[in-house]
Structure 1
Amino acid sequence: MEITPTAQKLCTVLALLLLNRVRVVPVSALIYELWKDGPPKSARAALQIYVFHLRKMLTQSTGLTLAEVSENILQTVRNGYRFVVEPGQFDLKVYNRLRRDGCTAMGAGDYRLAAQHFRQALDLWRGPAVADVEPGTRIRAEVAALEQSRMTMLDYRIELDLRLGLHREILSELAVQTLRNRFQENLHAQYMIALYRSGYRIRALEAFHRLRHNMLTEFGLEPSSRLKELHQAVLTLDPALDGAEVVPLPRRPTADLPEIPALASSF
């Protein structure tokens, strides 16, 4: 099924319900997300109208009756609401499964399989989480956790590719990622190593100086000592770079990647 509200408050209600998939979201939490500390006297009635409109949209996309949608999908439960759909209809449910499978493979030392799972999970992203929603406090916190999970997984996946010897294969991806994440030191360090191992020593040095320039211009800060040591190693052709690691991989069966509530980016 597919449902894409255009009204901002409808989007906000739907996003918070999906971020808490199968968990009850209290009416008070939804009202706070919509109006913060200044809800109108009609807030509860307005929320009921928003939920009604979402249910009507769901009837159109699923072919179910309004009663069936209310009973099986967007439920009223204990002074709150709960959104329930099949797990396969949520991109993030699949994302979390691939994340767990990748962590298990990584902990077992199967780097190729782990990288494959992480790559499939990252391919599910088609843009920012909960795009086109004006986030309140609760949604902003959930989205921050989700974005951090994605960046941690990206760190691991690129590190795995480096250990598998895929330096040239990931150069174009790293070039894009370092432009998008101008101050993310792990990505820049991985890019420098991939360039160096691919025979592009000058470009590796340029990548460091570009990061340093950006950090000094924006924040008046120098790169970390770790990045400076990597820069020096490239300058001196340090043989340790052939086996250097940027992101240490976990030694236990599962990695420290938190479970994220199942937000649907598409249904």
Structure 2
Amino acid sequence: MTDTLTLLPGATTAVGIRILGPVEVHGNGAVHRPRGPKVRKLLALLAVRAHDIVDVDTLVEELWDGAAPASAVSTVRTHVYHLRQELSQELGLPDMHGVISTEATGYSLRPAPGMLDVEEFTRLYGQGRAALHAGSYDVALDRLDAALALWRGRTLADVARGRVLAAHATRIEELQSRANELRIEAAMRLGRHRELVPELHRLIAIDPLNEWLHARLIDALHRSGRRGEALRAFHQVRHVLAEELGLEPCEDLVRLQRHILSGAAAS
């Protein structure tokens, strides 16, 4: 397999495997959804463990959720065969054994660079984080925007998650949350406070108990000259925290409220 098979963000003719949303295979300008819930689950498990060997016992546990039939091992082999056939057809590769390799204890997905969306996301996220720490805020924003653009919904949206997949999906979604935070920080550093307000409202609607997001919204409103709205946003989050968790706002939120009430100019 050559490195010319790359997944290009936003390109409809990309060749690749995508799990940041429903599980899809993209090739030759078409989108293919692997047939059968167990085949999709098999591909998902190999993808979240890309380049590692996933042993047969783990595959059996995940595919049958602890209630495997006596024929489970041979059925796994059959599912791997069908998955190779599907991917070969969709990606236009004559031999998928180099992409899904058979190992002594199981199987391993070995995608080319850029072929797997979660790997591309992790690469861009790492570049964005490094640029932010180096003070290159415009570069950081560009890389993090590109990373987040790869998401099409909830990780493995059309796959029933067992114990193993659930743990990996949680890890990947934590990285998405962190990428959003770093993107917001880069945009704030570039003075894009007004642009951030709608985005922060959207993220808070998804994660209403995230105090960090609420603090950034209050700060962005204040820095945009919307002092009254900033104070209302503080009172809203205080109410949500009290109602849902019986907690008072964190020190970061309280400090922002005091800063606004003191009449200090946003800096």
TM range (shorter): 0.7 to 0.9
Distance of 1:214 and 1:77 partners within structure 2: 51
Q: What residue number does 2:40 align with? A: 11
Distance of 1:92 and 1:138 partners within structure 2: 17
**Structure 1 residues 116, 202: closer, same or farther in 2, change over 3 A?**
same
Pick aligned residue for 2:226 from 200, 211, 215: 200
- Please state whether the residue corresponding to 1:87 is helix, strand or coil: coil
Say which structure is richer in helix. Answer: 1
Contact 2:47/2:116 (<8 A) preserved: no
Q: Do structure 1's residue 45 and structure 2's residue 74 form an aligned pair?
A: yes
Number of matched residues?
A: 238
Q: What residue number does 2:211 align with? A: 185
Q: What residue number does 1:32 align with? A: 61
Specify the code of the residue in structure 2 equivalent to 1:21: A
Q: What residue number does 2:250 align with? A: 224
Deviation at 1:103, TM superposition (A): 2.4
Q: Which stretch of the first structure deviates more once superposed, 44-53 or 130-139?
A: 44-53
- TM (normalized to structure 1)? 0.83
Q: What residue number does 2:87 align with? A: 58
Q: What residue number does 2:3 align with? A: none
Distance of 1:63 and 1:180 partners within structure 2: 39
Deviation at 1:124, TM superposition (A): 1.4
- Please state whether the residue corresponding to 2:140 is helix, strand or coil: helix
Specify the code of the residue in structure 1 equivalent to 2:238: R
Specify the code of the residue in structure 1 equivalent to 2:66: D
Contact 2:52/2:108 (<8 A) preserved: yes
Pick aligned residue for 1:136 from 162, 176, 193: 162
Distance of 1:123 and 1:234 partners within structure 2: 34
Pick aligned residue for 1:122 from 148, 165, 177: 148
User: Root-mean-square deviation (CA), in Å?
Assistant: 1.7
Distance of 1:202 and 1:178 partners within structure 2: 19
Q: Which stretch of the first structure deviates more once superposed, 176-185 or 83-92?
A: 83-92
Distance of 2:35 and 2:88 partners within structure 1: 17
Distance of 2:243 and 2:132 partners within structure 1: 38
Structure 2: gaps spanning 5 or more residues: 1-14, 16-24, 26-31
Distance of 1:91 and 1:76 partners within structure 2: 23
- Please state whether the residue corresponding to 2:101 is helix, strand or coil: strand
Contact 2:129/2:182 (<8 A) preserved: no
- Please state whether the residue corresponding to 1:46 is helix, strand or coil: helix
Distance of 1:103 and 1:226 partners within structure 2: 23
Structure 1: gaps spanning 5 or more residues: 243-267
Q: Do structure 1's residue 214 and structure 2's residue 235 form an aligned pair?
A: no
- Please state whether the residue corresponding to 1:81 is helix, strand or coil: strand
> Percent of counterpart pairs with the same letter?
36
Distance of 1:219 and 1:46 partners within structure 2: 47
Distance of 1:201 and 1:211 partners within structure 2: 16
Deviation at 1:60, TM superposition (A): 2.2
Distance of 1:56 and 1:189 partners within structure 2: 50
